[in-house]
Amino acid sequence: MISKKMEKIMNEQINKEMYSAYFYLSMATDLREKYFDGFAHFFEHQAQEEMEHAMKFYEYVNEQGGRIILEAIEKPQTSFKDVEEIFDLSLKHEKFVTQSINDIYALAVKENDFASMQMLDWFIKEQIEEEGNMDKALHMVRMAAKAPHAMMMLDAQFGKRE
């Protein structure tokens, strides 16, 4: 059984993960409009991954006897200056999600909720990977931005994500 505080904060995280999916789909849409199909593919996969994260929280709350309460998902930004802005915003967003996961973990520690701590360990490791990937991608995009042919090659590389 999870506490009412833990149930509430995990419901909020479900919403944040779903927003993340929505945000990344918005980025993918903008990139497709700019004919960056490889980068768009990358963010479509990001969106799917974020929905999987939302479902992990959803399933956990259910397994622990909590109640899921779905709230409205905020409308994301819909247009972006360029690829660099998209990756910059993505890295900032992943840092926001990391802080949110850390806040949930801190509550689990405060409540001696060992089951939630164990479940959250996966998310902490995932966020280390997510931030690292976005940081690396942002640096690559910044380097390629000075050479259009390099940006096109990078776009093709990002399109190979499975």
Question: Architecture of 4-158 per CATH?
Answer: Up-down Bundle (1.20)
pLDDT of amino acid 162:
80
Question: 78: closest CA among 17, 19, 29?
Answer: 29
Q: Given the structure tokens 């259910």, which residue do they identify? A: 62
pLDDT at residue 15 tops 90: yes
CA pseudo-torsion sign 48, 80, 88, 148? positive
Task: State the pLDDT confidence band at 75, using cuts at 50, 70 and 90.
Answer: very high
Report the alpha-carbon distance of residue 47 to residue 93 in Å, rounded: 13
Average pLDDT for the chain: 97
Whole-prediction pTM: 0.95
